[in-house]
Amino acid sequence: MLSLQIPDTNLNVGTHSVPVSVSEDVHISGVQFTLELPSGTTYIGLESEQLPIQSENIAHFTQDGKTFINVSYHNIHGISLNKENTLFNLIFSNAKNTTAKAVVKLANNALQPEVYGKELEIISLGMNVYTNTKVHEKYISQNTPNPFREETVIKYAQQNEGVVNITIYDAKGSALYSQSNHQPAGEGQIMIQKNMLNDQYGVFFCKVKTQDATSVIKMLRIE
């Protein structure tokens, strides 16, 4: 059996990006599964990394307050997956303090969770939670895309868990938006949306402070 793997991290109220990996190196022809998020959790999206999923590979719906995300990917030429690399990032926001293992589950009442091997053999798919003990790098990156219209993303990494602060200023230096969230060690991302800029256009500055670094990012929103 193969397993999807997520880190065992604490999640405070706010937006989070949880990396999902695979338990062992494998060559596949396809994969399908359904992720389940509890009530009080808002699904934002899946960010593809090693597994090249696109919008047509993803469908989500809500039932009894829970959110279900169907993922189905097939490639007749096959694709090799490395256990050391992230398959995709699951992005969501939660309304209360919780943990990754309490939020992200593999549903068994929708798509049958399974992987199709090199010879199209069916391999069962499960989910594991692991304790992340590796030493993380640290950085704060330029927002992408830039310029942008609707939204943009600032990626960062911190070596230790702790509060990540952001403050957005307009070109005159007036503060427009601020946010503080406790985030786990490792990589994360901050979604900047147009409403956080009071729907204004032009140059903005976003001050990002992690546990390891502080940086001011110059951003440009265009019409």
Q: Mark whether 103 and 208 lie in a shared domain.
A: no
CATH number at residue 34: 2.60.40.680
Q: Where are the beta strands (DSSP E) in the chain?
A: 2-7, 10-11, 14-22, 26-37, 41-48, 58-63, 66-81, 88-94, 98-99, 105-106, 114-117, 122-130, 139-140, 151-158, 162-170, 175-183, 186-193, 202-209, 214-221
Give buried/exposed letters for 181-219 (b at 16+ CB in 10 A, else e): bebbbbbbbbebeeebbeeeeeebebebbbebeeeebeb
Please check the confidence at residue 134 and state whether its pLDDT lies above 70: no
Stated pTM of the model: 0.60
217 is in which domain, residue-wise? 139-221
Q: Mark whether 110 and 39 lie in a shared domain.
A: yes
Q: Mark whether 147 and 215 lie in a shared domain.
A: yes
Average pLDDT over residues 82-103: 90
In this prediction, residue 101 has a pLDDT band, given cuts at 50, 70 and 90, of confident
CATH number at residue 174: 2.60.40.10
Give the model confidence (pLDDT) of 8-26 as tens digits. 888 888 888 899 999 999 9
Q: Mark whether 42 and 96 lie in a shared domain.
A: yes
Give residue 220's identity as a one-letter amino acid code.
L
Last residue of a domain, one of 113, 130, 147: 130
Q: Which of the 8 DSSP states describes residue 135?
A: P
Last residue of a domain, one of 95, 130, 165: 130
Average pLDDT over residues 48-58: 92
Last residue of a domain, one of 67, 95, 130: 130
Q: Mark whether 8 and 115 lie in a shared domain.
A: yes
Please check the confidence at residue 79 and state whether its pLDDT lies above 70: yes
Q: Mark whether 90 and 18 lie in a shared domain.
A: yes
Q: Tokens in use for 1?
A: 């059996």
Per-residue confidence (pLDDT) for residue 213, from 0 to 100: 86
Please check the confidence at residue 133 and state whether its pLDDT lies above 70: no
Residues 6+ apart with CB under 8 A from 41: 67, 92, 93, 94, 95, 103
The better pLDDT of the pair 32, 108 is held by 32
Q: Mark whether 108 and 146 lie in a shared domain.
A: no
Give residue 19's identity as a one-letter amino acid code.
P
* 136 C-beta neighbours (distance < 10 Å), count: 16
The three-point CA angle 85-91-95 to 5° equals: 140
Q: Mark whether 9 and 104 lie in a shared domain.
A: yes
d(CA 180, CA 87): 28
How many Å is the Cα radius of gyration of the chain? Answer: 19
Q: Mark whether 88 and 167 lie in a shared domain.
A: no
Q: Mark whether 176 and 85 lie in a shared domain.
A: no
- Count how many domains the chain has: 2
Q: Mark whether 158 and 195 lie in a shared domain.
A: yes
Q: Strand 58-63 and strand 66-81: pairing?
A: antiparallel
Q: Mark whether 83 and 147 lie in a shared domain.
A: no
